[in-house]
Structure 1
Amino acid sequence: MLILGAFMAVGALRGAEPAVAPLPPGVRAEWSLERAWRESTPTRERVCLNGLWRWQPATADAQTPPTNCWGWFKVPGPWPGISDYMQKDSQTVHVHPAWKEVRLRDVAAAWYEREVTVPAEWTGRRVALSVEYLNSLATVFVDGRKVGDLRFPAGELDLTAVCQPGQRHVLSLLVVALPLQRVLMSYTDTAAAREVRGAVARRGLCGDVFLCSTPPGTRLEEVQVRTSVRRWELTLDTALTGLEAGKSYGLDARITDQGREVKSFQTRPFTAADAPAGRFVFTESWRPDKLWDLHTPQHQYELELSLREADGRLLDALPPVRFGFREFWIEGRDFYLNGSRIFLSAVPLDNAQVSAAAATYEAARESLDRLRSFGINFVYAHNYDCLPGAHLSFSEILRAADDLGMLVALTQPHFSHYDWSSPEADRTNGYAPHAAFYARVAGNHPSVVAYATSHNATGYNEDMNPDLMDGRSAPRDTWARRNVERALRAEAIIRTLDPGRLVYHHASGNLGPMHAVNFYPNFVPVQELSDWFEHWATNGIKPVFLCEYGAPFTWDWAMYRGWYKGRREFGSAVVPWEFCLAEWNAQFFGDRAFAISEMEKRNLR
C-alpha cells in the first residue's frame, strides 16, 4: 500500500502548505443541495452529490479522516494514472503540494470528503448514502465518526442516526481498491482484506453518489417491469421492505405517455405472506398503442407506482420509472423483436471502459449513432468479466441506447471467479448478489435484451467447424465440460433474477439458446467463406451468433502466429511482423494489389 504519513506530517508541522489546495481561477466546488439534481415524490427524495470533492491518497489502514493536505477530484470517475489501449484519463486531480510527486497509478486507497446539509423537510424519514458503482470498499464517516462500510459493486448505508435534517455535516469516505476475493473476504475480516493489494484498473467512486430520504418503515425498494408482446401482458416484479404481519397492502400503478395517462390499475390486497423474500409479482393484460423498437425508440412510457395500506393511506411512492413495451425472443434459429424476425449486426461497446467522459450520455449517444450509421443494431458490453474495476457506470450508456434504438447485451459476472465446490455455493459464494446487481443495472431499459456471460470459457476446438455449427453437436473436452457445469449454474441464477431476458455464453459453441462463436477463419478463400454456413442454413436448429468476428483478423495480416523465441503470447509479444496485405488483396485487385507502399516494402522480410 502507498505510505504517505511521514511527509504529510512534515508538511503540517512546517505549516508551509494550506490545508486545502486552491482551485484554479473560475473553478469552484458547488456543494449547495439547492443547486443539485434531485428527484422527489410525496414520500421520498434523492439528491445528487456528484461534483468536486476534497480528495487525497491514503493508507488503507487509516482510522480517522485527515484535516489537511486535501486536493480535489470529481465524482464520479476513476482515479487517474492507469491508461492503456482501452482506458484513458479524462478528469483532473487538483493536487496538494504535500503529495504532488505521488504516482497516482500506484494509489490503492484514497480519502474523499465534502459537506452536506440535510434538507429540513426530511424530518421523520430514513436518510441514507447511496453509491451507484464502487471499486471497491468504502468506509463512511460522518463528522469524523465511523458509520459503516459500503462494498463493491454498489450499496446504500443508513445515516439516519448521525444526520439531522436541517443540519450541516461533513461526509468522509475512505475508499480502498480491492480485488474480488478481498471484497468477499471483507465481509468476515475487513482488516485482513485491506492488507492484500490486487489489480483494480478503475478505482474509486465510479458511479453517481446520492443522499436519499425514504419512509423509515414499510416502503418500496424497486420495481422490475417485464413486457410481453406474445401475450400482451405487463408484469411488475416489486421489492418491498418492512411489510408487517397481519396487515393488508395494495399497489397502485399509473402509466403515462408524455404526461398523459394511458393505463392505470390496482393489485388485489396482499399481505407479507404473499411476498416471499420481500417480492410481490403481479401481471396485468395490456395492449399498448406504441411499442419500443429500433425504429421507434421514442415510444417509452413512465410508470408511477405507490404502496398503500388497506385503508388507502399512502405509505410510499417511487419516482417515475421509464420503460418500453417490447419483447425479444428466439424462435427456431431466428431472433424476433416484437414479432418481426431480426438479423443482428453486432460489435462490442467500449464506452464504460474507456473513460468517465466516454461513459456520459452525450458520448455514448455519439458512439451508438455512429455505429448505427453503418448498420450495427446490437452491441455487447466489452468487459468480459465483472471484477472490481472492470468498467465504469453503465447508467447513461443504457439510457442513450434506449433513446437511440440500439439493442444491448450486458455482461454478467464470470463463473470462474467464484468458488462452486460447495453444494450450497449457488447461495453462498457471492455470485448471486453480484448477478443481482447487474440485473438492477439492466433494470427497465428496453435496449437491454440479453446478458452475456462465461466469456471464452466453454468453447471447444470444433466450435467453428461448419459441419457442426447446427445446434446439435458439442464435442467438448473434459476442461470445457467441467466449465459448462459451472456456467449453467451461474445461468440458472441469472434467469431466476431476470426471467425476461436471454442469457448466452460468449464463444461457447453450442450451449444455451444459441451457437455463439469467436469466428476467426484466417485467410479462408472467399467462396469457402460464402459456403461456411450452408450446413447451418439447412440443418441448424439454433441461431448462430458470431460474437467476435475477423475474416481475416488483425493478427492474420502478419507472419506472427503466437510463438516467438520459445514463448506463447496472445497478441502482446514484441515480434517482427510481416504484413501480407498484397497477397490477400490480389484476389480482388489482381496485379494491382502488388503496387505496395513504402511502408509495406519495409515490412517484407
Structure 2
Amino acid sequence: MKLDLAGAWTLALDPQNCGERQHWYAADLPDPVGALTLPGSIQAQGYGDEITLDTPWTGTIVDRSWFDDPRYEPYRQPGQIKVPFWLQPEKYYAGAVWVQRAVRIPQEWQGRRITLTLERPHWETAVWLDDQPLGRCDSLATAHVYELGAQVTPGEHRLTIRIDNRMIVDVGPNAHSMSDHTQSNWNGIIGRIELAAESPVWLRNVRIFPDVARKAATVKLDIASVLGKSARGRVTASARLVDGKEMPPVSAEIGFSAAGGLSGLELSAAGGHVDLDYPLGDDAQTWDEFSPALYEMTVELELFVKAKGESGGEGESVRDRRVVRFGLREVGTAGTQITLNGRPIFLRGTLECCIFPRTGYPPTDVDSWRRIIRICQAHGLNHIRFHSWCPPAAAFDAADELGFYYQVECPSWANQGAAIGEGRPLDQWLYHEGWRIQDAYGNHPSFLLMAYGNEPAGRDREFLAEWVTYWRKRDPRRLYTSAAGWPMIPENDYHNTPDPRIQRWGAGLASRINALPPETTTDYRDFVAQAGAPVVSHEIGQWCVYPNFDEMAKYTGVLKPKNFEIFRDFLEANHMGDQARDFLLASGKLQALCY
C-alpha cells in the first residue's frame, strides 16, 4: 500500500541556515515563498537568487578574465549578466530549503510499519513528522528512505523536509554530481516521493549472484524485523524469464527467535541472513549486448506469529514480497581482455557528464534513458561511463533491457581542493555511498564496471588499493578500478588511463599530435601488454569545436546558452558573423583529423 506525495508542497528558503535552530518543522513554515511542485527543482520553477558578479558557483573557474577584461564589461552589468563559463540558469540558490505538506495516514495503516521514500534529492535531506525527527541522509546516488515506524496514528500529520544543496561532503567542486560545469547545482527532489505501509518483517535486501557455469544463481537475503518476538515460516524464491518461461520455486523454512540460541536458519528477533541456491535450468539464457535475456526473481516471505501464551494454530500471518530483475552474466578478464560470459568483449564507449539543459537534472523515467541508449547504439556504441556520478534506477532498467554496459562511479572528483586518503570526511562517505550504490543497483546486469570517481588527488594509491580490494571481496559481480584517469595500481581489475594519449594536459606543442606529422600507424599493443590488465582509454578526445549558433534555439529549459551569445557577439564585432558556419565546419574537420 502506497501513498503518492507528488504535487504541490509549501516552500520556504533558508539562506541563513536558521530553520533547524528555530524549529521550523514544529509548525507551518514561516514566510513561505510559494508552492513547489515535486518532483522538481526550485530553480526550474523560478525560485532562487538573480545571477550576479558574486554568484557562488559550484565549479572551478579556470580563466577568470570575465571578471576584469574590458571586453566582458557589457556582460557584467546588473540584470544583464552573461557568463562564458557554462550554460547559465535564470536563478541560483545554494543552501537549505524547506518543503512541507499535510499527509493523511489511512485507517487501514494502523499498526503497520510506514516508510518514506525520496528518490534523487539534491543533496542532503532531513525529515520531520509533526515535530518528531526521522533522521538525515546524504546520498547523491540512491533514494533516501526513512522509517516512520509502526506507531504513527491514522489521520492528518505534518510532513516537513529540509533539502540542502551545499557541499555537504567535499566531493570536489567539479564533480558532475554537483557542478555547475554540467548538470547545475540544483535543489529539490526529482524522483518518486511516497509513503508506504510495510510489513513488520521485511526483505531488507535481495542480492542475486549469477553463476554461468552452473546455470544457477545464489539469492542472498537480508531479512529485518521489528516484531521483537518469535515467529516461524518460510521464504520462497521463484524465477522466470521476462515474458517467458517460469522456473519451479525454491523454499527454505526459517524462524525468528526472541530467546537467542540460534542455529541453522534460525534468525534473531531483529532479523538475519538467508542464502538460497536457485537452478535456472539446462536451457538458461545468458545476458549480453547481443541477447539481453532478463530474469525476474520473486521472493516471498511468510511468517506465522503467535501472541504470548497462545497455543494451537499457526498464529497471525505476516508477509513481504520483492520482485527483482537480473541477468545470468559473469564479467571477468583474460590477460588484457575483458570477458563477458567467458567471451572477450570490446568496449566502445562514450562519456555521460550529467548534462540535461532543459531541466538542469537527469531524468528518472525509463523512456528517457531508452532514448539515450538507442542513440548510442545507433552510433555503434555499447558502453557509457558516468563521469563522477551515478545515474538513477531508470537508467539501469533501460540498459538491462537494451543490452548496454555501464561504468558507474561514486559521485566524486576529489581534486581542485578535495582529496582522498587523507582522513577527511570524504574517505568514509565514499564507502557509505558505495554500499548504497551496490545495494540499490547491484543486481542490474548492465552495472559492469565501477570506480571510486574521477582523477583523484591525495594519497590515492594507498586508499584506492584498499578500495578496490574491499569491493571485489564484497561484491564480485563486476570489475573494479581505482579511478577514471589514475592511478594504475596492481589491485585494479582493469585500468582506466589516459596514457598514451596524443595530447596530455599541459603538453602544448611538445605533444605527439603537435610535434609529429599526422599518422595512423601507432600501435598500442606494447603499452597494453605492459599494463598487465585490460585497458579502457580515458578521455582521449574532447577536442574543441566552434560553437554551433544554430542550436541556441533548442535551449528552451532551465539552462540558457548565454555563453554562446557572448561568442556570437565577439564574432560579429569583428565583422565575421557571416562566417560562423564556416568556422564550425572547419573546427569539425580539425576534430576528425585529431581523432
TM range, smaller chain: 0.5 to 0.7
Match of 2:485, SS? coil
Match of 2:322, SS? coil
> Deviation digits for residues 180-218 of structure 1, max 9, x if unmatched?
3399xxxxxxxxxxxxxxx992323244222021123x3
- Paired residues in the alignment total 456
Unaligned runs of 5+ in 1: 1-44, 81-90, 96-100, 184-198, 459-478, 557-573, 576-595
Partner of 1:502: 479
> Deviation digits for residues 392-428 of structure 1, max 9, x if unmatched?
x611222221222211111125595687567xx9999
2: CA distance between counterparts of 1:125 and 1:210? 15
- Which of 28, 34, 37 lines up with 1:74 in the alignment? 37
2: CA distance between counterparts of 1:220 and 1:110? 33
Partner of 1:48: 4
Residue 492 in 1 paired to residue 469 in 2? yes
State whether residues 409 and 452 of structure 1, in contact with CA within 8 Å, keep that contact through their aligned partners in structure 2: yes
1: CA distance between counterparts of 2:465 and 2:97? 38
Partner of 2:247: 262
Partner of 1:136: 123
Instruction: Summarize the Cα distance change of 1:333–1:155 in structure 2 as closer, same or farther, 3 Å threshold.
Output: same
Partner of 1:229: 212
Instruction: Summarize the Cα distance change of 1:314–1:496 in structure 2 as closer, same or farther, 3 Å threshold.
Output: farther
2: CA distance between counterparts of 1:335 and 1:456? 22
Instruction: Summarize the Cα distance change of 1:533–1:70 in structure 2 as closer, same or farther, 3 Å threshold.
Output: same
1: CA distance between counterparts of 2:223 and 2:583? 68
State whether residues 336 and 528 of structure 2, in contact with CA within 8 Å, keep that contact through their aligned partners in structure 1: no
Shift of 1:343: 0.9
Higher relative contact order (CA 8 A, sep 6+): 2
Q: Percent identity?
A: 19
Partner of 2:285: 290
CA RMSD in angstroms comes to: 4.1
State whether residues 129 and 210 of structure 1, in contact with CA within 8 Å, keep that contact through their aligned partners in structure 2: yes
1: CA distance between counterparts of 2:323 and 2:585? 59
> Deviation digits for residues 330-376 of structure 1, max 9, x if unmatched?
12211222232211101112347653464532222211111111111
Partner of 1:345: 348
Letter in 1 for 2:221: T
1: CA distance between counterparts of 2:221 and 2:315? 19
1: CA distance between counterparts of 2:522 and 2:90? 54
Residue 149 in 1 paired to residue 135 in 2? yes
State whether residues 394 and 441 of structure 1, in contact with CA within 8 Å, keep that contact through their aligned partners in structure 2: no
State whether residues 170 and 426 of structure 2, in contact with CA within 8 Å, keep that contact through their aligned partners in structure 1: no
State whether residues 131 and 210 of structure 1, in contact with CA within 8 Å, keep that contact through their aligned partners in structure 2: yes
State whether residues 136 and 203 of structure 1, in contact with CA within 8 Å, keep that contact through their aligned partners in structure 2: yes
State whether residues 133 and 152 of structure 1, in contact with CA within 8 Å, keep that contact through their aligned partners in structure 2: no
Match of 2:92, SS? helix
- Which of 380, 384, 390 lines up with 1:375 in the alignment? 380
Instruction: Summarize the Cα distance change of 1:443–1:454 in structure 2 as closer, same or farther, 3 Å threshold.
Output: closer
Shift of 1:294: 1.2
Shift of 1:164: 2.7
Match of 1:261, SS? coil
Match of 2:433, SS? helix
State whether residues 54 and 72 of structure 1, in contact with CA within 8 Å, keep that contact through their aligned partners in structure 2: yes
> Deviation digits for residues 463-504 of structure 1, max 9, x if unmatched?
xxxxxxxxxxxxxxxx7xx42111122223433442211111
Partner of 1:363: 368
Partner of 1:170: 158
2: CA distance between counterparts of 1:215 and 1:247? 14
> Deviation digits for residues 257-288 of structure 1, max 9, x if unmatched?
33753232113647666679943334333345
State whether residues 114 and 172 of structure 1, in contact with CA within 8 Å, keep that contact through their aligned partners in structure 2: yes
Partner of 2:493: 513
TM superposition score normalised by structure 1: 0.65
Letter in 2 for 1:148: L
2: CA distance between counterparts of 1:544 and 1:497? 23
2: CA distance between counterparts of 1:260 and 1:160? 39
Bigger Cα displacement from structure 2, 308-317 vs 359-368: 308-317
Residue 335 in 1 paired to residue 338 in 2? yes
- Which of 218, 239, 245 lines up with 2:222 in the alignment? 239
Partner of 1:219: 202
Alignment of 1:55-454 (within 5 A): 55-59=11-15, 60-62=17-19, 63-64=23-24, 65-66=28-29, 69-80=32-43, 91-93=44-46, 104-142=91-129, 144-153=130-139, 154-160=143-149, 163-165=152-154, 167-181=155-169, 201-216=185-200, 218-242=201-225, 250-257=234-241, 258=243, 261-267=246-252, 269=254, 278-287=272-281, 289-297=284-292, 299-309=293-303, 315-351=318-354, 355-356=360-361, 358-382=363-387, 384=388, 394-412=392-410, 414=412, 416=414, 420=421, 429-454=428-453
> Deviation digits for residues 411-452 of structure 1, max 9, x if unmatched?
125595687567xx9999343322111113323222111112
Bigger Cα displacement from structure 2, 500-509 vs 531-540: 531-540
Match of 1:366, SS? helix
Instruction: Summarize the Cα distance change of 1:555–1:508 in structure 2 as closer, same or farther, 3 Å threshold.
Output: farther
State whether residues 494 and 534 of structure 2, in contact with CA within 8 Å, keep that contact through their aligned partners in structure 1: yes
Bigger Cα displacement from structure 2, 413-422 vs 402-411: 413-422
State whether residues 210 and 328 of structure 2, in contact with CA within 8 Å, keep that contact through their aligned partners in structure 1: yes
TM superposition score normalised by structure 2: 0.66
2: CA distance between counterparts of 1:538 and 1:141? 57
Instruction: Summarize the Cα distance change of 1:57–1:246 in structure 2 as closer, same or farther, 3 Å threshold.
Output: closer
Instruction: Summarize the Cα distance change of 1:156–1:127 in structure 2 as closer, same or farther, 3 Å threshold.
Output: same
Letter in 2 for 1:205: I
Match of 1:290, SS? coil
2: CA distance between counterparts of 1:116 and 1:269? 37
Match of 1:150, SS? strand
Unaligned runs of 5+ in 2: 49-78, 80-88, 172-182, 257-261, 305-313, 504-512, 547-565, 568-580, 588-595
2: CA distance between counterparts of 1:444 and 1:240? 17
Shift of 1:241: 1.2
Instruction: Summarize the Cα distance change of 1:104–1:514 in structure 2 as closer, same or farther, 3 Å threshold.
Output: same
